[in-house]
Amino acid sequence: MKTEYLIIYGIINLVSFLLMTYDKRMAVIKGWRIPEVVLLGVAALGGAPGTLMAMRMWRHKRTKMLFSTGVPLMVIAHILLYYQFLA
């Protein structure tokens, strides 16, 4: 069970990182953007570390309060949930 969870968690984080990367690219070229609710939803479902990495790497959504505080809090919540249920 633990191995399957970690694989799924890794995939979700890769997807969240790629979504943030795509959204940043579209912001630069003024293209179609991914709604913030989608980005935050994927982060809440387990992709918070990937979202946070993309935020820092691409300097994207860092000034938005919901992202700058919400995503790090989601990372902490995911760590706590991991140790509560899977460790």
Q: How does DSSP assign 38-74, residue by residue?
A: HHHHHIIIIIHHHHHHHHHHHT-S-S-HHHHHHHHHH
- CA-CA distance, 16 to 60, in Å (whole number)? 13
For 45-59, the pLDDT digits (tens) are: 999 999 999 999 999
The whole-angstrom separation of Cα 32 and Cα 82 is 35
Return the domain boundaries, the chain: 2-10+33-85
Please give the model's pTM, rounded to 2 decimal places: 0.93
pLDDT in tens, 14-39: 999 999 999 999 999 999 999 999 99
